[in-house]
Amino acid sequence: MIVFLILLAAFLCYNIINTLYYTHMFQLNGYKPKVQRAWLAKRLPPVLGRCLLVLFGLLFLPFFSVGGKIVSILCFLLSAYLCRPRKAKKPLVYTARVKRLLLTDGIVWVLICVLLFLTRTIPVLSVVLLATASFFAPWILLLANLINRPVETGINNHYINDAKRIIRQSPSLQVIGITGSYGKTSVKYFLQTLLSTVYDSLMTPESYNTTLGVVRTVREQLHPTHEYFVCEMGARNVGDIREICDIVLPSYGILTAIGPQHLESFRSIENIVKTKFELVDALGDSGTAFLNYDNEWIRNRPVSCKTISYGIEYQNADYFGTDIVLSSKGTSFSVVYKGEKIPFSTSLIGAHNVQNLVGAIAAAHTLGVPVKELQMGVRQIQSVPHRLQLLPRGNVNIIDDAYNSNPSGAKAALDTLSCFDGVKIVVTPGMVELGEKEAECNFTFGRQMAKVCDYAVLIGGERVFPIRDGLLEEGFPKEKIFLYRQFTEGIQRAYALPSGQKEKFILLENDLPDNY
C-alpha cells in the first residue's frame, strides 16, 4: 500500500507539472478550445514526448511487484524533472479563471485516482488507465474548461454588461476603434500621443485587444472625464471584432492593414477581410472610417459610412505621406492634405512607421487637433517596444522588430535595414500562424533577406528551413547562414560576427511566443 501511494504521488507530481504547462499554453491561445485543439493537433509528437518516459515506466507495473513499482516511480519523477517549467517570455498568470480551471481539472484527476485505487488489484487495467490519462492530459484540461463553461460564461457576461453600462453612461465619450492584421498597436500609441496634446483620452494598454481585455480597461480605467477612448481590437476568429464593437459602440474606426496574419485560425483571407471590416460595418451611416488605401483589400471593398483614406503609396488618398527621408537618427516626411504639404519629423525609423503615423495624423486632425500640435506630437512620439525600435549599443545597433512578424512587416523591416551603412545581420525564427502559406512566406522572406543582409542567424527548428532555402536560392553564401535552437545562442553569434571598422546593425525580426 505504501509503495502504491508513493507511486501515485510521483505520478501526480509529474501530472501537476504537465497540467500547468498545458494551462499556460491554453492561456496563450486565448482560452479558445478550437485554437488549443489545433495547436495540439500540430504538436502530437511533442505531446507524446512529454509522457513517453511515463509510458515506459508503466510497462514495469504488470510484470514486477515492488521492483516494478520502484522503476515506475523513478520514471515518473524523472519525467517531472524533464518537464519542469522553463523561463517563459510570458509566464502563466494565475488569474481567477486559471484557478477555477485548475480546481476543476484537479477534481477530474481525483476521480481518476479513485479509479486507480479501485483497480489496483488488476495491474493491466491500472496501467491502461494511467497510460490513457497521461497521453490525454491536455484534453482532460479542455474537458475541465467545458465543465466550467456555464460559470465562465456567466462571469464574463456580468463583466461585459457592466462595461456596456459604463460606456452608455458616458454620453460625451467618443470611441475610436482600431483594427488590422498588423500596425494597429503602433497606430494606437501614435494616436493616443497626438490626441493627448488636446484631449483627455484613454487607450487600451499593451496588447489588451481581446473582448475581456477591452472590458477590463473600461471597468478599471475609463472615467467620466475621458473624451476619447482609443480601443485596439484584435481577432483570431470571425465575429471577434463585432463582439467588441457591440460593447464599446465606436463612432470612428481605423483599419490599418489586411494580410494573411492568423491565417491558421481564420482559414481564408476572405474571412480575415470580413472580420476586420466588422469594425467599419459597426460604425453605421453616422460613423467615420479611416482606411489605409495602400492596402488593396481595404481599398477595393465598398463601405456605406463616411471614409477618409490615407497612405504613402496611393497618391489619391485624402492624407498622403510623401518626401520620406530615412536615417539612423529618425525620419522626416510630409503629409499632403487638400493640396497643402505639412512637414513632420520623428525619431522613429522605417517607411512602415510613416504609414502608421499618417493614419494617426489623419484621425487626430479630423478630430480637431491643430497642425502645430500634430507636428509637436509627432516629434515626441517614442518607438513602440519591439516594433522597429532602434536601440544603440555602442558599435552595435539593434533594430528590434520582434513583435509578431508578418510578410508585409518583415519586408518593411528589411527595407529599413537596407538604409543603414554597415554590417547588416538578421536574427529571426521566421513567421507563424500563416496556415498553408507559412512555408511559402518564409521562403520568400529568405529571398528578400539575401538581397539586404550580410549574415543570417536563424533560430528554431523546421520553420527556418524554408528561410534558409530562400537565402540559398538567391545565391547567399552558405557559410554566412547560422542555425541555432535558442535565441540566446543566436544573438551571441550575431554580436560575435566580424564587422571590421563598420557599425553593426542587427535586425531582430520576430520573437515567437512560448506556445511556439
Spatial CB neighbours of 249, under 8 Å, sequence gap ≥ 6: 167, 168, 175, 282
What are residue 507's DSSP bridge partners?
A: 399, 426
Tell me the average pLDDT across 250-255: 96
Residue 1, pLDDT above cutoff 60: yes
In a 10 Å sphere around its CB, with 0-12 CB exposed, 13-18 middle and 19+ buried, how is residue 32 labelled?
A: middle
Q: Region 237-245: what's the mean pLDDT?
A: 92
C-alpha–C-alpha distance, residues 291 and 273, integer Å? 13
Q: What is the DSSP string of 27-76?
A: HHTTT-HHHHHHHHHTTHHHHHHHHHHHHHHHTTTTT-SHHHHHHHHHHH
Please report the beta strands in 275-432, taking only residues with DSSP state E, as ranges in sequence order.
288-292, 306-311, 319-327, 330-337, 340-346, 389-393, 396-401, 423-428
Phi, psi of 358 (to 5 degrees): -60, -40
End-to-end Cα separation, the chain, in angstroms: 42
Mean pLDDT confidence for 21-34 = 89
pLDDT tens digits for 352-366?
Answer: 899 999 999 999 999
pLDDT score at 61: 65
CB 434 within 8 A of CB 260: yes
Q: Cα–Cα distance between 291 and 38 in angstroms, integer?
A: 33
CA angle 347, 350, 354 (to 5 degrees): 80
Q: Give the integer Cα–Cα distance in Å for 36 and 45.
A: 15
- Please write the tens of the pLDDT for every residue from 315-354: 899 999 999 988 777 899 999 999 899 999 999 988 889 9
Q: What is the 3-state secondary structure (H, E, C) of 449-495?
A: HHCCCCEEEEECCHHHHHHHHHHHHCCCCHHHEEEECCHHHHHHHHH
Whether the pLDDT of residue 204 is over 60: the answer is yes
Statement: residue 399 has pLDDT above 80 = yes
* pLDDT-based confidence at residue 513 (cuts at 50, 70, 90): low
What single DSSP character describes residue 249?
A: -
CB 292 within 8 A of CB 321: no
pLDDT tens digits, 96-124 = 999 999 999 999 988 887 887 777 667 67
Q: To the nearest whole percent, how much of the chain has pLDDT over 90?
A: 49
Instruction: Tell which wins on pLDDT, 6 or 169.
Output: 169
Q: How many Cβ atoms from other residues are within 10 Å of residue 161's Cβ?
A: 12
Is 351 in contact with 313 (CB distance < 8 Å)? Answer: no
DSSP 130-156: HHHHHHTHHHHHHHHHHHHHHHHHHHH
Q: Distance of CA 473 to CAs 149, 453, 469, Å?
A: 50, 15, 6
What are the chain's domains? Answer: 2-150 (no CATH), 170-380 (3.40.1190.10), 389-509 (3.90.190.20)
* Mean pLDDT of the region 167-193: 93
Residue 237's pLDDT band (cuts 50, 70, 90):
confident
Q: pLDDT tens, 49-97?
A: 777 777 777 776 665 567 767 777 787 788 878 777 777 778 888 999 9
Residue 475 has pLDDT above 70, yes or no: yes
What's the mean per-residue pLDDT of the chain?
87
CA–CA gap between residue 23 and residue 28 (Å, rounded): 9
Would you say residue 154 has pLDDT above 90?
A: yes
Assess whether pLDDT exceeds 70 at residue 440: yes
pTM of the predicted protein model: 0.82
Which tops the pLDDT comparison, 388 or 307? Answer: 307
3-state secondary structure of 87: coil
Contact of 57 with 67, CB cutoff 8 Å: no
Distance CA 327, CA 339 (A): 27
User: Of 397, 392, 403, 393, which Cα lies nearest the Cα of 429?
Assistant: 403
Cell, residue 104: 476543476
> C-alpha cell of 404?
509578431
Q: Report residue 161 as a C-alpha cell.
A: 454588461
Q: In percent, how much of the chain has pLDDT > 70? A: 96
More confident residue, 71 or 37: 37
SS3 category, 389: strand
Which helix (DSSP H) or strand (DSSP E) does residue 229 occupy? strand 228-232
- Beta partners for residue 202, in sequence order: 229
